[in-house]
Chain A
Amino acid sequence: MALETSGELLLTVNGEPRRIGVGASIADLVASLGLDPKKVAVEHNAEIAPRSMLADVRLADGDVLEIVHFVGGG
């Protein structure tokens, strides 16, 4: 809660702690990481976050996100 009053949320992104300003959306997070939203998929608290909704979903303190993309594989 102390984090929220300081204007920042503490998230877990791909297993690592990450801070972002209060009020930020998933789209803001993706942009702040320098990622192209068209090339990634986001899971937000174990639910798929549809690409079309990324700007509409506000992040909350303690949220857990997975951001994935395609890599080489067999």
Chain B
Amino acid sequence: MTDTVAEKTADTWTVAGRTFTSRLIVGTGKYKDFAQNAAAVEASGAEIVTVAVRRVNISDPKAPMLTDFIDPKKITYLPNTAGCFTAEEAIRTLRLAREAGGWDLVKLEVLGEARTLYPDMRETLKACEVLAGEGFAPMVYCVDDPIAAKQLEEAGAVAIMPLGAPIGSGLGIQNKVTVRLIVEGANVPVLVDAGVGTASDAAVAMELGCDGVLMNTAIAEAKDPLRMARAMKLAVEAGRDAYLAGRMGTRRYADPSSPLAGLI
């Protein structure tokens, strides 16, 4: 217990040897344009953004590019494997990403089906092992299953990223018990990835002890994305502080805050 919150400034987290201050990772999809996207990243305070790997439009090579708006030298690009349904596709995508960007910190996600975008853990584990063997540092989107989380860690995952709810659903953290169990059992950072809809959801994830939160749609589809980006920044900080502060116990009935002694 301390009397000041000065050490709050030193509350960093480290993944695969890289240290970050912001615990909020934001996506770069679904924005109106690159300018709005860049402004939202700035408002969120995020130091890491997820990006996708796609074919260059060879019929319009001068079209604006993400890298013109969000500088990869200032913001860490975390290439994802969104849209990949097999280990093979995901590995191929990340090999290209490493060549395009020159870095090995990546987000692995292997999807099981289009309707739920739920992870295929068999393929995810397979891909994680291969990637780790090739020197990648995979942060892995996964089910909220503590056993699967341990298996991923054994397969070389540098961060475990369970879904809070289906991607893009905004339903919030559906299973606080399993997310907490994953946090307690993990020796690598745990980040809730997917399902956050509003600021309180991000705070819940952090109060469960997660090291961070990754989100895209909650900010991009807000009516005012910049304000929501700021709200998420504050929620992640608030949730983290609440976790570190250690919440009060719960009681079944009331307990007055004013003294009973001295009542007139």
Contacts and interface: CB of A to CB of B under 8 A. Distances in A.
Interface of A: 13-16, 18, 33-35, 39-43, 48-51, 66-74
A74 B61 contact: no
A72 B37 contact: yes
A24 B22 CA distance: 46
Contacts, number: 102
Interface string B75-117: 0010110100000000010011111110000000000000000
Contacts of A70: 51-53, 65-67, 72, 77, 79, 97, 100-101
A49 B95 CA distance: 10
A74 B30 contact: yes
Contact of B96 (A34, A68, A74): A68
Top 7 A-B pairs ranked by shortest CB distance?
A: A73-B52, A74-B216, A74-B27, A41-B100, A41-B99, A72-B28, A34-B61
A57 to B, nearest CB: 13
Contact of A14 (B56, B65, B101): B56
Interface of B: 27-31, 34, 37, 50-56, 58, 61-62, 65-67, 72, 77, 79-80, 82, 92, 95-101, 167-168, 215-217
Nearest to B102: A51
A68 B100 contact: yes
A66 B50 contact: no
Q: Chain B interface mostly helix, strand, loop or mixed?
A: mixed
A50 B52 CA distance: 20
Q: Would you call the interface of chain A mostly helix, strand, loop, or mixed? A: strand
A67 to B, nearest CB: 5
A67 B100 CA distance: 10
A73 B82 contact: yes
B80 A74 contact: yes
B96 A48 contact: yes
A69 B61 contact: no
22 contacts: A13-B58, A14-B55, A18-B58, A33-B58, A33-B61, A34-B62, A35-B58, A41-B99, A41-B100, A42-B99, A43-B92, A48-B99, A67-B55, A68-B54, A69-B67, A70-B67, A70-B100, A72-B52, A73-B52, A74-B27, A74-B30, A74-B215
Nearest to B168: A74
Contacts of A49: 99
